[in-house]
Amino acid sequence: MDSVFDKIAESTVTFNLGDEETWRELYEPFYSPPPASVKVVKDRQYGSHERHRLDVYVPSSQQGGKPVLLFVHGGGFFSGDKGWSDKCWANIGYFFANAGIVVVIANHRLVPHVQHPGGAEDIQMVREWIYHNINSPDYGHGDPNKTVLFGHSSGGAHIATNLFLTSKTRVFPPVAGVMFFSVPWWFDTVTRPIRKRVITQYYGSDNEEVWGPQSPLGLFRQLPADSPFLDSDKVPVYVGTVKWEVKEAVDSNMVFFDAYRAKSKPAGTLPLLNVLDKHNHLSNVLSIGTEDTSQSSLILDFVDSCVRNVEKRGGDAASKPSL
């Protein structure tokens, strides 16, 4: 894969509209064939909109209690799909399902057909679908208490908005851990015209005084002191970025990292942070399922640590609603 790494280093932090197709085409020849042992259940409906669809990648083992990984794609709030191609984002589903994890890859509504907080509402519906359905033998007997959320770019922004907006003092459905990869916690509407247009459509204004408090960073700063998202023992947080990251994500990730430290319990506790060498804003997730295991191995380690944390607590029955 040296030719891919050379291309990434040549491009450095440059990432323009349309570049995503270049990177996809570079990576697709390196994916392993889909493992025959993994079953794929496609287009399960979790809501009423045509974009309210998800795919489930089911490991072959019928043993119960499997961890669950929810992946939410990016795309600048206006593009992207769970079936970007036959191989992307199936690379993520097949790889982790082959490792014994039930994988859910979900679509969500896109600008201009959704406004804030619609993306977060979609994430909530997906999480509730997982909670009520994933333990079925049709989906591999996943354990909803062992659900780890994995958001890339704007997909991570929707996850963060959902968690910080709806779960200020209580987490339901349960979250065993959350990974934010190359997420824009704040938005550059000054030097990026396309971001300005999209943010205006999504939040109803390009004025930071309007969208700022509703951005992932703004919502995080409003969390009460007893929020479970400030305690890494309750909800482990993994922040992933890359050597060749786009400026908006770099700047906002550094601000989020400091904001987390300022509010965390115990005082000064940090989220896990990793800067992946040799990669850019998109290659970090495109690399999953190739011979380059630098990213996928870290994700496996994090999921494993989250599962052990849940098992140490004896499950998460306290997060379930009273019936």
Q: How far apart are CA 282 and CA 28, in angstroms?
A: 13
If one counts the domains in the chain, the total is 1
- Return the SS3 of 128: helix
For 262-268, which contacts have Cβ atoms below 8 Å and span 24 or more sequence positions? 263/220, 263/221, 263/223, 263/225, 263/230, 264/230, 264/231, 264/232, 265/225, 265/230, 265/231
Indicate whether 184 belongs to any domain: yes
String of b and e for 81-109 (b: at least 16 CB within 10 Å)? ebbbeebbbbbbbbbbbbbebbbbbbbbb
Indicate whether 53 belongs to any domain: yes
Indicate whether 9 belongs to any domain: no
The two tokens of residue 64 are 């119960």
For residue 46, give its domain range: 15-314
Q: What's the CATH number where 237 sits? A: 3.40.50.1820
Indicate whether 1 belongs to any domain: no
Report pLDDT for 19.
Answer: 94
Q: How far apart are CA 156 and CA 154, in angstroms?
A: 5
Report pLDDT for 315.
Answer: 56
Indicate whether 61 belongs to any domain: yes
Indicate whether 131 belongs to any domain: yes
Give, for 260, the enclosing helix (H) or strand (E): helix 247-263
pLDDT along the chain (323 residues), means of 10: 95 93 97 96 98 98 95 98 97 98 99 98 98 97 98 99 80 95 97 96 98 98 94 96 97 96 94 97 98 98 98 62 28
Report pLDDT for 167.
Answer: 62
Indicate whether 323 belongs to any domain: no
Indicate whether 310 belongs to any domain: yes
